[in-house]
Amino acid sequence: MASRVSIFVTCLVDQLFPKVGLAMADVLERVGYSVDFREDQTCCGQPAFNSGYHEEARGVARHFLDVFADAEYVVVPSGSCTSMITHHFSDIFRDEPDRLEAARNVKPRVWEFSRFLLEVAGVEDVGARFEEAVTYHDSCHALRELKIKSGPRRLLSHVRGLELREMDAAEECCGFGGTFSVKFAEVSGGMARTKIDSILRTGASTVVSIDSSCLMQLQGALLRGGHPVRTLHLAEVLASR
């Protein structure tokens, strides 16, 4: 087991959901790692990239490569940000050989949080206790680009007191999609409402995912609908004792 990991907390976690980053660090330390947070980290460049601003995305991505050039492992509490780094850096740097090589070098060291626990740390039970019924939302990038599906559920299955209730639309998009939710607000809202209906049918008190962006979308829809269901990142559940 490696002794040290660097956490890349992502924009949303840094600005809006700091408890997720703290929970991730807590779990990683609990399973035996020393955690460092590089204070000059910023963004992976995904918002600009998805909006067509590829030069601006490259500038941010170059900074990411510089910040984490010597990191043994980079652990990320987001499927979408992990996908951006491991799948799309090669696209935006295809005309910059040196940066393309740096992106290829960092790729195998960048891990989404749940996959790191299972495949690198080799743990399924982190000693968590969370006595509630929860349902799990499969975020699009994690499911479709990273092929993450069973892993988070395996981790949840070892949480004492937790009951996992599968929704009938677990794999359907929440409608966030970054700037999609701004440009196509009505479509985004309709997708969220479909998802909320599926969540409510489970009777779960909490929705869990590995992407804070999805959870932000779902929490907003739940609050607007007056539904007493909360959202939590997987790291927050696993950090519970």
Q: 86, 120, 154: which is the final residue of a domain?
A: 120
- CA distances 218 to 101, 189, 208, 235, Å, are 38, 10, 10, 17
* Amino acid, res. 47: P
- Angle in degrees, 0-180, between the axes of helices 212-224 and 185-202, rounded to the nearest 10: 80
The verdict on 28 and 98 lying in the same domain is yes
pLDDT for res 168: 94
Is 127 within a domain?
no
Looking at the structure, do residues 145 and 226 belong to the same domain, yes or no? yes
Which residues touch 107 (CB under 8 Å, ≥6 apart)? 85, 86, 89, 90
pLDDT lower than 50: segments of the chain: 1
Chain centroid to CA 190: 23
Same domain, 108 and 202: no
Q: How many domains does the chain have?
A: 2
- In terms of domains, do 172 and 235 share one? yes
151-179 confidence digits (pLDDT tens): 999 999 999 999 999 999 888 888 777 67
Give yes or no: residues 116 and 217 share one domain: no
Within-domain flag for 73: yes
Query: What pairs with residue 135 in β-bridges?
Result: 207
Model pLDDT, residue 2: 54
Do 49 and 87 belong to one domain? yes
Same domain as 199, residue 229: yes
Q: Are residues 17 and 44 in the same domain?
A: yes
Q: Is 207 a domain residue?
A: yes
Question: Which residues constitute the domain of residue 93?
Answer: 4-120
Same domain, 177 and 138: yes
Q: What is the pLDDT of residues 179-213, one digit of tens each?
A: 776 677 777 788 888 999 999 999 999 999 999 99
pLDDT for 73 equals 97
CATH of the domain at 166: 3.40.50
In terms of domains, do 233 and 190 share one? yes
Same domain, 104 and 156: no
